[in-house]
């Protein structure tokens, strides 16, 4: 009769093992989180002067753009002071096949002082023209030369002769 278990002992063991399991999971979670925090700090340490260094770098870059920095940065060639306007990149699909895309970066060299309204009008005209071009028309070096000539003629007509030259900075077909 001594082997007979008391009615409360079995449930008490189950409760104790459940509490121990929850406590073990909680401890392991805290150890894992702490270890992750330590490893994260080792991999990417936080520099207390990072914001100050970033502000200094931006200020130096602005000075370099203006030409005051001298050795820090070279002045950008395509500026309105030079009569060159860099247009926003043009991305559109071709007329045929319509699943091919073209991305074109263009700069306009003006005869006199550049005009923003004229540059924007030429930009929109180039975009509209590229939507009518097929891939077969611009394949190869001869097709690319024809495209350059067409864009030059359209820019000259749209600007009424104010655009001296169109400069293709990049041309990608996907």
Domain final position from 56, 76, 96: 76
pTM over 0.75: no
Q: State the total domains in the chain.
A: 3
The Cα–Cα gap between 147 and 168 comes to: 10
1 in any annotated domain: no
Range of the domain at 38: 7-46
Q: Which two tokens stand for residue 74?
A: 């070279």
Sign (positive/negative) of CA torsion 22, 23, 29, 33?
A: positive
φ/ψ of residue 172, rounded to 5? -130, 130
For residue 114, the domain's CATH number is 3.30.479.30
Same domain, 35 and 61: no
Same domain, 39 and 23: yes
φ/ψ of residue 79, rounded to 5? -120, 160
Same domain, 98 and 159: yes
The per-residue pLDDT string of the chain (174 residues; one tens digit each, 9 = 90 and over) reads 455 555 556 677 778 888 999 999 999 999 999 998 888 878 876 666 666 677 777 776 666 555 544 444 545 565 666 788 889 999 999 998 889 999 999 999 999 888 889 999 999 999 999 999 999 999 999 999 999 999 999 999 999 999 999 999 999 998
Total count of residues recorded for the chain: 174
């Amino acid at each position: 009769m001594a082997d007979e278990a008391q009615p409360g002992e079995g449930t008490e063991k189950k409760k104790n093992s459940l509490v121990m399991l929850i406590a073990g999971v909680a401890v392991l979670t805290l150890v894992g989180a702490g270890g992750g925090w330590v490893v994260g700090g080792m991999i990417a340490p936080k520099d207390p002067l990072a914001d100050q260094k970033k502000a200094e770098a931006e200020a130096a870059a602005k000075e370099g753009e203006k030409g005051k920095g001298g050795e820090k940065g070279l002045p950008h060639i395509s500026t309105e002071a030079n009569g060159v306007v860099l247009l926003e990149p043009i991305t559109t699909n071709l007329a045929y096949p319509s699943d091919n895309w073209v991305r074109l970066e263009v700069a306009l060299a003006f005869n006199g002082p550049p005009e923003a309204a004229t540059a924007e009008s030429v930009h929109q005209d180039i975009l509209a023209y590229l939507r009518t071009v097929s891939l077969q028309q611009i394949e190869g070096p001869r097709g690319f030369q024809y495209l350059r000539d067409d864009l030059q003629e359209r820019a000259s007509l749209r600007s009424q002769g104010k655009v001296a030259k169109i400069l293709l900075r990049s041309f990608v077909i996907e």
